[in-house]
Structure 1
Amino acid sequence: MKHPHLIVAFVATLTATTLVALAQKPNDRPPPPGVPGKLKKPQMSDTIKANIYADNWFMLYINGELVAVDSIKFIPHNVISVDILPTYPMTIAVMAKDNADPKTGMEYANTNIGDGGFILKFGDGTVTNANWKAKAFSTGPINRDTKNPRVENIPIPENWYAVDFDDSSWGKAKEYTEEQVGPKQPFFEHDFKGAKFIWTDDIDLDNTVLFRHVVKSSPDGRPRVDYSNLNNIVPEGPPKKPKK
């Protein structure tokens, strides 16, 4: 004899699955394996905003591709905002530099020891914090000696921004407060809520720092289409407007 409660459970599960499938628009579903041309073309609504502020300069890679470069090397301090098309897992790699003479590690005609600071926020909820990896590659003036300043440099690996780069030996980034970094006005005009300023343990002497972080899935939980294979398919375009 068949069990009625098992039949009811099966029907309920089937109905729920069907409703979820119907709720998805055809263009929002991933293409069937091996079937090209079933992925819609990405629209600006598929992108997220990235806000980045560095004291003083940065370059940003995502999944091994250069995405943004600070347009001002020193001052005035500025915020770079760009639209990015996220793909997960997302490997973020950043080179950040505090303005410093390469021989002395000082600034303003070798009269001052500067300080760094980096902060980032993406529209999916990705933020900088102490979970990021960080490593210094240029430090100075050593021992804060401003009378005979010198700098110690470590060669930067060629593939430091690659997805498969091994950063297992790197330490964690250190968080700093706004008061410690002292961001300038453009910072307060952009959304950095929830993000933390980060650097190495020495925000004064470490002048060139690399950061890395992997975002395994969208922090806001929103499902997003994977466009990482876009170059290898023929995507469907948006519906064409009828001719007048």
Structure 2
Amino acid sequence: MKSHAHLLLFLVLAASSMGWAAEPSPMKPMIYATEHSIVRYDSTGTRTFHLETGAVSRDVWLLENGNILFPYYFKKGDRAGQGGVREVNPKGETVWEFDAKGWTLSCQRLPNGNTLVGAAGQCALLVVNPAGKVLNKIDVKMRTPHQHSLTMARQLENGHFLVAEETMKLIREYDPMGKVVWEFETPFTPFSVVRLKSGNTLFSGQHGLIEVTPQKKIAWTLERSDVEAMGVRWFTGIQVMPHGHVLICNAGGKIPFFEVNRDKDVVW
């Protein structure tokens, strides 16, 4: 089975501004999730961590304590359709786990130690404490459980939750009570979503990246034709760097990871 990396978290955000046609650029330390494993590389290109999970993961975090947090769900076998969130230490040993009782595509360790779980199988966001108790459950508007009912969920600095609802082709912001306070209808199925410091929202998906203002005006786009040499299959994981460049995971495409600037130049 071909392995597709879906969401990545780059660990070192310093980058060279080297053109794509130039000599090979330095390796970026990174950790990423695939159809069946979690992989980490250092700046020399050496693989420093590899964990066969036996499940599909769409998100991954390197925590401050050195542990790794990721969601997972099973596609086949007796546990097909089941999933949760797992935290492992650098040896790959499980130190914390939450059974979400269904497809789980995203997670986030919150500043207070709780964990946000994107429980697609429940069509809900769950805030879970270290003891595994659900402190808050927010139902998303998509009410038919499906592995793509929500692909990405992030808590914002204001305590709200930003969600990519793939099946509905919507980006929605929910308050802690579950009220939709902002939404944007996407022209393609979305995967990742980020709230920028400017207040704009950047999301990725099947055919590109789009940045929109709070007033829902399009501020910036990146399309397949802008990065044709990358052989894009699907724009999935994204991370915005401090200087504004965007790191992109091209799941199953010719070049799996690349970086673009605001002029749409591939700089790594």
Pairwise TM-score range, normalised by the shorter structure: under 0.3
Structure having the larger proportion of residues in strand: 2
Q: When the two structures are superposed, what TM-score results if normalisation uses the length of structure 2?
A: 0.21
Structure having the larger proportion of residues in helix: 1
Bigger relative contact order, structure 1 or 2 (CA pairs below 8 A, ≥6 apart): 1
Rg larger in structure: 1
